[in-house]
């Protein structure tokens, strides 16, 4: 019902909105509370997301960082000309938002200084437009150079140096706490959340062993079904879902080579750690005691600065869960432990408050078998793994987004599959696994 509300009705119906999906994510239920999360993630008849108003996305970043920009010399005439162009751009944005039922407009520029960004946000605010800055950063010179492919070498160098010299002395990276901003970019640090690194040799060995164990288990289950008097029928097809990160994709490569269907799903990416990435628990407690207190009070809904909460992750996974419920084949999900926590919590009807502390050892595949009233979860051991890649699952606060990978780089599995209880049944099973590479990955 609330998905059909118009913006006007919603604005005048706070009690009705309280009953909408602003706080409960349709995956893990909690008792009703007075305070509400601000996000209402469903569209309205007006075509707008009424909760968020109108938004101007303003780009930030130096040239050759994956964004376009306008560059001019510093003469008085060129500055005046540039200001007229920028004013006309803003007028176009206001017209689009006010008269064309627009909600999101993109203001593409370098926006190099903090003072300029503050002024821009104030200017948009006068027109009741919220500003979101997105900074595009890159420290990898190889990627920057790729933006000049096709240029004559000498011309490319001259052009590059001219643009850099004009902007670098005046550029200030986003640090304004009062503004809304996202930093996007690349890193050469393989331990970084932003890095999309390849699976290590040890990770590939783990992936093959995990695949062999799973296939052997499926055949063993088929033989057990025959022993109990069931029909001698082929196994259900096995489908594999991974995130789009390389480590999870490569964890599924061995199964793909055996002829199994593998599909990448963007929604299966891990929880975004925000500013807490690679920070120790001691540092987090010392620098952000208020955030730690909020997290300990509500680890499911709390999000660290610039991060996602488990609630956010559950909302992101809703389409995956809807599709999962319709699966007729056996399904293997290879994903980060934070994703497995949400999926397991949904399938096994866990309380939302318990989701962040669920543990998934990396030397086990979790198998979930649907039943009439309660799903059944069992573990399939993956034996003879090197001890360094199977540390115990970390507690939630020790690393706000705990890595699911050991030194090898592959991912932890979960399977949805066929029940054992009835020789005549044929319900699909879910098996899950997580990457095992020691770094924050899928």
Continuous segment of H or E residues that includes residue 84 = helix 76-99
Please give, one letter per residue, the 3-state secondary structure of 334-399: EECHHHHHHHHHHHCCCCHHHHHHCCCCCCEEEEEECCCCCCEEEEEECCCCCHHHCCCCCCCCCC
pLDDT in tens, the chain (442 residues): 333 333 444 344 443 333 334 445 555 555 444 443 333 344 444 555 545 678 999 999 876 555 555 444 556 777 788 888 888 999 999 999 888 888 889 998 888 889 999 999 999 999 989 999 998 877 666 666 666 555 555 666 566 656 665 555 667 888 888 898 888 765 555 556 666 777 888 888 889 999 999 999 999 988 888 888 888 888 889 999 999 888 889 999 999 999 999 999 999 998 888 888 878 888 899 999 999 999 999 999 999 988 899 999 999 999 999 898 888 899 999 988 899 999 999 998 888 888 998 888 878 899 998 877 788 898 999 988 877 666 544 444 444 444 444 444 455 666 665 443 333 334 455 666 665 543 332 2
Which residues face 430 on adjacent strands? 331, 416
Quick one: which H or E segment has residue 186? strand 180-186
Burial of 218 from C-beta contacts in 10 A (0-12 / 13-18 / 19+):
buried
- The pLDDT assigned to 325 comes to 86
pLDDT of residue 213: 94
Q: Distance between CA atoms of 50 and 44, rounded to whole angstroms?
A: 7
Q: How many CA atoms lie within 13 A of 171 on its CB side?
A: 16
Predicted confidence at residue 432, as pLDDT, reads 61
pLDDT at 416: 61
Residues involved in catalysis = 108
Backbone angles phi, psi at 184, to 5 degrees: -125, 145
Task: Please give the Cα distance from 171 to 165 (Å, whole number).
Answer: 10
H, E, C per residue of 296-307: HHCCCCCCCCCC
State the pLDDT at residue 186: 58
Beta strand 261-264 pairing with 180-186? unpaired
CA distance 303 to 314: 13
Does the pTM exceed 0.85?
A: no
């Amino acid at each position: 019902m609330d998905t059909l509300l118009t913006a006007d009705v919603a604005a005048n119906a706070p009690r009705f909105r309280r009953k909408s999906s602003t706080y409960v994510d349709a995956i893990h239920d909690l008792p009703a509370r007075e305070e509400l999360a601000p996000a209402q993630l469903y569209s309205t008849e007006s075509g707008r997301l009424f909760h968020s108003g109108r938004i101007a996305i303003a780009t930030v970043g130096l040239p050759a960082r994956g964004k376009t920009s306008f560059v001019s010399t510093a003469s008085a005439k060129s500055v005046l000309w540039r200001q007229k162009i920028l004013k006309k751009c803003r007028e176009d944005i206001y017209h689009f938002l006010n008269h064309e039922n627009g909600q999101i407009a993109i203001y593409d520029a370098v926006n190099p200084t903090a003072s300029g960004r503050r002024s821009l946000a104030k200017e948009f605010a006068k027109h009741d437009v919220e500003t979101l800055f997105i900074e595009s950063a890159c420290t990898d010179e190889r990627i920057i150079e790729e933006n000049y492919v096709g240029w004559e070498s000498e011309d490319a160098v001259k052009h590059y140096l001219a643009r850099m010299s004009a902007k670098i002395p005046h550029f200030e990276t986003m640090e304004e706490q009062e503004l809304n901003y996202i930093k996007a970019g690349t890193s050469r640090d393989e331990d970084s959340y932003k890095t999309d690194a390849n699976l290590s040799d040890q990770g590939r060995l783990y992936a093959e062993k995990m695949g062999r164990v799973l296939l052997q288990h499926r055949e063993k289950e088929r033989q057990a079904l025959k022993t109990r008097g069931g029909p001698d029928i082929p196994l259900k097809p096995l489908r594999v879902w991974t995130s789009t990160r390389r480590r999870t994709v490569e964890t599924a490569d061995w199964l793909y080579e055996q002829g199994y269907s593998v599909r990448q799903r963007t929604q299966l990416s891990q929880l975004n750690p925000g500013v807490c990435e690679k920070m120790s628990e001691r540092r987090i407690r010392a620098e952000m005691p208020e955030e730690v207190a909020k997290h300990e009070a509500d680890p499911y809904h709390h999000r660290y600065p610039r991060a996602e909460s488990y609630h956010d992750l559950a909302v992101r996974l809703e389409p995956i869960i809807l599709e999962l419920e319709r699966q007729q084949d056996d399904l293997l999900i290879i994903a980060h432990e934070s994703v497995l926590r949400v999926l397991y919590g949904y399938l096994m009807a866990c309380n939302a408050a318990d989701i962040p502390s669920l543990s998934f050892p990396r030397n086990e595949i979790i198998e979930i078998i649907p039943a009439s009233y309660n799903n059944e979860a069992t573990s399939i051991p993956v034996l003879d793994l090197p001890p360094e890649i199977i540390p115990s699952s970390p507690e939630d606060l020790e690393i706000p987004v705990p890595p699911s990978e050991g030194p090898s780089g592959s991912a932890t599995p979960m399977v949805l599959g066929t029940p054992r209880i009835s020789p005549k049944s044929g319900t699909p099973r879910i098996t899950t696994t997580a990457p095992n590479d020691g770094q924050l990955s899928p």
